[in-house]
Amino acid sequence: MPFGIKPAAEEYQRRQHEVLQGLRGVSVIADDILVYGSGEATEEAVKDHDNNISALLQRAREVNLKLNKRKLRLKLQSVTYMGHLLTTEGLHPDPEKVTAVQNMQTPTDVKSLQRLLGFVNYLSRFLPYLSDVCEPLRRLTDKDIEWAWLPQHDAALENIKHLVMHHPVLKYYDFKEEVTLQCDSNYWEIDELADYTSATVIDCCKTQFSRHWIPHIVFTDNGPPFSGMNFQLFAQEWDFNHETSSPYNSQSNGKAESAVKIAKTLLKKAALDGGDPWKAVLAWRNTPTEGLHSSPVERLMSRRTRTFLPTRDTQLKPKVVKDVITRKQTKGITVKHRYDTRDRDMPTIIQGQTVRVLQQPRQHMDTRHLH
């Protein structure tokens, strides 16, 4: 090999994939070959498994691939494979790894803590909210933090062990069942409208739908472009449900109101500075959101996009952003706590008490009595 023996493992893996490519129900990692069968009933799964075994043996003869029969384990109901336990019920973590986590000693330095976090992260798919639980421990690995193991770190370690011991069983993916895709990107588009008629707004929606996708639900306010018959016909033709916010209560459409506020701020600043507003939008889309550690474009496209800031080519490669939902939930809890600290409960209304109601759309005060 041109670079010596160092890349031998990767080269071996590549060649294994090449010789076994296209075989159904066959997975290979290094020198471990897993053959599985599937079906609606056990008989179907066994038959499918046998067919896949026969195809593997035939391919091995064709490419002169030697197999060690002493390592053969045939028709197992459960098998440990690459740190996981595969069973007929679903996917479990390797029991040995679970035991190893339970027996882990308290870390004494940064390196031992990093080993612990790396080991636990391998089981992250089984551990809900692991990112939040590990947050106190991750802070200890920062370069500017002095090592000091405190009670909150003991609590975090115990929580990790508890999660590992009470792990769920993950169900295998079934393409026949309904799949729900949840996207929490906070990525918004902006368009310049010639007017505010329903025809113009509908054309704008069609442009965005063709660029991204047709949503199941379109949530709008009760403005004239959305309340007429034209938009109802558009919803029927393009097969989406149209829901509207509560009249005179913009908070019920908070996501859109927040996006509009940000967009207006960007446009106003660009106008005052004499800059290009689209550059401002581009910069915002690539700016990490507070508390989420990723930008809107990263969460939508699983990659950074090129901007006017110097960026390495390696930073523009695709990379899936993880823990978005968990981080959003944590951020939501924080925001709610801040809101609740300044919010006050409304006083109890007593029968016969005078209540003043602000009528809409007229700014007129009306005094009524409750009876």
pLDDT at residue number 54: 92
The percentage of residues in the chain with a pLDDT greater than 70, rounded to a whole number, is 85
**At residue 371, does pLDDT exceed 60?**
no
Which strand (E) or helix (H) includes residue 84? Answer: strand 84-87
Q: What is the pLDDT of residues 150-193, one digit of tens each?
A: 888 888 898 888 888 888 887 777 777 776 665 667 787 888 88
**At residue 232, does pLDDT exceed 50?**
yes
pLDDT at residue number 366: 43
The answer to which of 51-55, 118-122, 169-173, 325-329 has the lowest mean pLDDT is 325-329
Residue pair 298/311 in contact by the 8 Å Cβ criterion: no
Residue pair 125/326 in contact by the 8 Å Cβ criterion: no
Q: Please indicate whether residue 180 or residue 201 has the higher confidence score (pLDDT).
A: 201
Q: At what angle do helices 8-20 and 42-63 cross, to 10 degrees?
A: 110
When the pLDDT of each residue in the chain is averaged and rounded to a whole number, the result is 81
Confidence of residue 369 (pLDDT cuts 50, 70, 90): very low
In DSSP terms, which residues pair with 219 in a beta bridge? 243
136: nearest Cα among 120, 123, 148, 118: 148
Residue pair 295/304 in contact by the 8 Å Cβ criterion: yes
* DSSP reduced 3-state for 218: strand
270: nearest Cα among 257, 282, 260: 282
Burial class (CB in 10 A: 0-12, 13-18, 19+), 318: exposed
Q: Please indicate whether residue 340 or residue 68 has the higher confidence score (pLDDT).
A: 68
pLDDT at residue number 133: 84
DSSP 147: -
118: nearest Cα among 134, 102, 94, 95: 134
**Mean per-residue pLDDT for 6-33?**
82
Residue pair 198/231 in contact by the 8 Å Cβ criterion: yes
In DSSP terms, which residues pair with 241 in a beta bridge? 217
Q: How far apart are CA 75 and CA 47, in angstroms?
A: 11
pLDDT at residue number 370: 38
Q: What is the pLDDT of residues 65-85, one digit of tens each?
A: 888 888 888 888 888 888 888
- How many residues are listed for the chain in this entry? 371
Residue pair 37/52 in contact by the 8 Å Cβ criterion: yes
Q: How far apart are CA 15 and CA 11, in angstroms?
A: 6
82: nearest Cα among 42, 30, 21: 30
pLDDT at residue number 220: 84
Sheet with strand 91-93: strands edge to edge: 78-81, 84-87, 91-93
pTM of the model: 0.46
Q: What is the pLDDT of residues 308-321, one digit of tens each?
A: 888 788 878 888 77
